[in-house]
Amino acid sequence: MAPRMQTGSGRLSQGLLLLWVLLGTGLCHAGAEAESFGQDTRTSPPVAVFNWTAQLVEETYTNITQKCWEVFVDLMRNVTASELCEWKVISRPYSLLQACLEGWADHLRYGYPNALAEQYIFQSHHRYFHNCTLEHQVYFDPPEDVLLAMIIAPICLIPFLVTLVIWRSKDGKAQP
C-alpha cells in the first residue's frame, strides 16, 4: 500500500495522486495502438486511454465525494447557528458541495444525480438545515365574505359595461 501524506483537511493516497497526475498530463497510455497497426506517430499524437471498470469509477467517485463532504463540513464550521437558515450565508458552501458532486460525476462519467450524491445532499439537510422553517407568513384564502365580494364585483360590472357600450353606440353616426 502506498504511504499516505497529509493534505489540507484530510489524507490523500499518493498512489491515487500519482494516477491523477499521470492521467491529467497524458503520460498514461494504457490501451494505445502500437505503431505496427498502421498508426503514424509523426502525424497522430498518442491517445491517452485508460480502461476504467465500473467498480474503479464507483470507488474513485466514493472517495472524491467524501472529500467534497469534508470541504463542505469545513466551510460550514464558519457558519453560526443563527445563520444556518440564511441563504446568503449558506449558498456558497451548499453550491460548492453540489458543484463538486456534479462536476466529478460528469468528469468520471458516473451520471448525476446519483444515489451517493443524493445521500450527501440529504445528509447536509438533515445535519444543518432541519430546523429551518419558513420565515414568511403562509398565505391563506381570504375570509368567505371578502372572497364572495371579489367574485361578484366583476360579474356585476360586466353587464354594466356592455350596457354602456351599447348606449354610446346608439347615436346613429358611423364611426371612422
The model's pLDDT over 20-61, given as tens digits with 9 standing for 90+, comes to: 444 454 434 444 443 443 444 444 455 555 567 888 999 999
What is the chain's alpha carbon radius of gyration, rounded to the nearest angstrom?
Answer: 32
Nine cell digits for residue 176: 371612422
* Mean pLDDT (whole number) for 106-125: 92
Q: Is the pLDDT of residue 12 over 70?
A: no
Express each pLDDT in 118-134 by its tens digit.
999 999 999 998 888 76
Q: Is the pLDDT of residue 70 over 70?
A: yes
Residue 110, Cβ density class (10 Å: 0-12 exposed, 13-18 middle, ≥19 buried): buried
Evaluate whether 30 touches 50 at the Cβ level (below 8 Å): yes
pTM equals: 0.49
pLDDT > 70 in the chain, percent: 64
Evaluate whether 19 touches 63 at the Cβ level (below 8 Å): no
